[in-house]
Amino acid sequence: MSQTITVKIGGMSCDHCAKTVREALEQLPYVVEVEVNRKKEWAVIQASAELDYALISQAVDEVGYEALGII
């Protein structure tokens, strides 16, 4: 079962921020692709299996940004 999740991300101010968030999310299990848009403040995560939002939030928080919920 594949899954696509769009997550609101807070705290990104530059392209480096977006890259940091993308790289953190790409390390999660089952993640196939991640697209991050810092101006719209979201990350779209494509996964090959269901992801737990708590894991997503933790990965984002660990690199200094804030996961603000699924949109």
Q: What is the pTM of this model?
A: 0.95
The confidence score (pLDDT) of residue 1 equals 76
> Which residues of the chain register pLDDT less than 50?
none
C-alpha 28: how far from its chain's center? 9
The confidence score (pLDDT) of residue 50 equals 93
Residue 9 amino acid letter = I
Fold exhibited by the domain 3-70:
Alpha-Beta Plaits (3.30.70)
| Structure-token pair, residue 41 | 């403040």
Compute and round to an integer the Cα radius of gyration of the chain: 11
Name the residue ranges covered by the structural domains of the chain.
3-70
